[in-house]
Amino acid sequence: MEKRVARRGFLAGGAVLGAGALVTACTGNEPAAAPSAAAPQAATAGTDNDKAGTSVVIGFSAPAADHGWIAAIAKNAETQAKQYTDVEFKPVEPTNDINQQISAVESLIAAKVGALVILPNDGEQLNQIGRRAMDAGIPVINLDRVFPDKLSYRTWIGGDNYGMGVAAGTYIGKKLKDAGASNPVILEIQGIATLPLTQDRSKGFADALKTYGFSVTAKQDAKFTVESGTAVASNLLQAHAKIDAIWNHDDDQGIGVLAAIKEANRSEFFMVGGAGSANAMRDIQAGSGVLEATVTYSPTMASSAIKLARLIAQGKGMSDLVENQVPQSITLASETITKENVAQYLPLGFES
C-alpha cells in the first residue's frame, strides 16, 4: 500500500477457512501452550509432523500494526510459533518504512536464522532482500505481498485477491439478478488503487458481475483506513441518490464506510465487505444494518506461514500430500460469510 501500507498486496483476497484447512495439512508439533483467545485459529490438530524435531530459529518481519489485519498477522505468527518446543521465534521491529524493513531483515540474515517469514511493505521494493536471504541459504516464506522474482522466496502463501472479487461479485450479482434488478447502481470502495492486489480484486469483481449482465457504476479507493473509508463513502453517497449495492474491499476501512452510511441515514442498498473481521461478522450476525456479507482474506495465513517455515527448515513436507517437499506456492480460498454461516467463521475473525 502506499509506503505505509497496513495490509495485504496484499482481504480473499479472502481466505479465512482456506488458512484453517492448510493449517491441518501442514501440521506442527505437540502444542507447547494453548493458543490465546485473540488468535484461536493458531491452534491446530497434530500429526506425525508435529512431533518435536530439529530446533529452528524463525525470523519474522512485517509492517507496523497500524491496521487490524496487520496486527492479527503478527499475533497469529507469534501464537503459532509458541505451539512448538522446537521453534525459536525471532521477530524484528515492525515498520512501515521500506529501508528500515530492509535493515531489519538484513539483521536476521546476519543472525543466520533457519528460515524467514516476510510480509513486505512492498514486494517489488523488498525483492532483493528476499533474494539475498535465499542466496545465503535461508529459505524465505513470502507472506501475502509477493516478491516478483521467484528466486527471492522458497514458498509464497497468501489470499486469492482475484477470487475475493469474484466472491463479492457473485454474491451481489446473484442477489440483484434474483431480485430482477435492471441497470443497478453498484459502487466499489477499493483499498489502494495502485496496488496489484487491489487491481486483482477489482478485476475479479468486474468479471463476476459481467456474468450477470452488470457492471460497476463508480469506484474509489479508501487507502485501507477508517478515516478515508468515511470520506470516500460520504462522497459516493452524495454523488448517488440511489444505490443498489456496495462492495467495500476491506473490513477495517469498512468501519468508516459504515459510519458514513449511518450518518447519511441511507439503507436502500446492501453491502458486502472484505477480509472477515470480527466486528463485520458481528454486524452480519445482528442483521440490523446494510452489511449482509463479507468475503475472506484471513490473517490465519501467518499461522500457516510459520508452520511452513518450520517444515521447510526441518526438511519435511506436508503430511497430507504425496510430495516430499512443501509446495512453492499456496493460494488460500476466499469464502463468503453471510448470516447463515457467520457462527462458523466468527472464531476466526480479527478485531479491527
Q: Is residue 241 located within the same domain as residue 312?
A: no
Q: Is residue 149 located within the same domain as residue 181?
A: no
pLDDT at 293 over 80: yes
- Packing angle between helix 251-264 and helix 226-239, nearest 10 degrees? 40
Alpha-carbon span 26 to 304, nearest angstrom: 7
What is residue 67's three-state secondary structure? coil
* Strand ranges for the chain from DSSP E: 56-61, 87-91, 115-118, 140-143, 155-158, 186-190, 218-221, 245-248, 270-275, 291-296, 329-331, 336-337
Q: Is residue 45 located within the same domain as residue 167?
A: no
Q: Is residue 73 located within the same domain as residue 202?
A: no
Q: Is residue 287 located within the same domain as residue 311?
A: no
pLDDT at 55 over 80: yes
- With a CB cutoff of 8 Å and minimum separation 6, the contacts of 309 are 56, 58, 115, 116, 117, 139, 141
Q: Is residue 36 located within the same domain as residue 138?
A: yes
Q: What is the pLDDT of residues 173-198, one digit of tens each?
A: 999 999 999 999 999 999 999 888 99
Q: Is residue 174 located within the same domain as residue 236?
A: yes
Q: What is the pLDDT of residues 16-31, one digit of tens each?
A: 333 333 333 333 333 3
The DSSP-derived string for 243-268 is -SEEEES-HHHHHHHHHHHHHHT--S
pLDDT at 303 over 70: yes
Alpha-carbon span 200 to 334, nearest angstrom: 13
**CATH number for 178:** 3.40.50.2300
Q: Read off the C-alpha cell for 148.
A: 516478483
Q: Is residue 291 located within the same domain as residue 312?
A: no
Per the structure, how many domains does the chain have? 2
Q: Is residue 3 part of a domain?
A: no
The reported pLDDT for the residue numbered 47 is 61
Domain residues for 57?
A: 16-159+300-332
Q: Is residue 260 part of a domain?
A: yes
Q: Read off the C-alpha cell for 311.
A: 517444515
Q: Is residue 220 located within the same domain as residue 261?
A: yes
Query: Quick check: 94 and 63 in contact, CB under 8 A?
Result: yes
Phi, psi of 295 (to 5 degrees): -110, 140
Q: Is residue 234 located within the same domain as residue 214?
A: yes
Q: Read off the C-alpha cell for 166.
A: 469474484
Alpha-carbon span 223 to 2, nearest angstrom: 8
Q: What is the pLDDT of residues 131-154, one digit of tens each?
A: 999 999 999 999 999 999 999 999
Q: Read off the C-alpha cell for 78.
A: 507469534
Q: pTM here?
A: 0.82
pLDDT at 316 over 60: yes
Q: Is residue 221 part of a domain?
A: yes
Query: Quick check: 43 and 65 in contact, CB under 8 A?
Result: no
- With a CB cutoff of 8 Å and minimum separation 6, the contacts of 264 are 234, 237, 238
Q: What is the pLDDT of residues 198-241, one digit of tens each?
A: 999 999 999 999 999 999 999 999 999 999 999 999 999 999 99
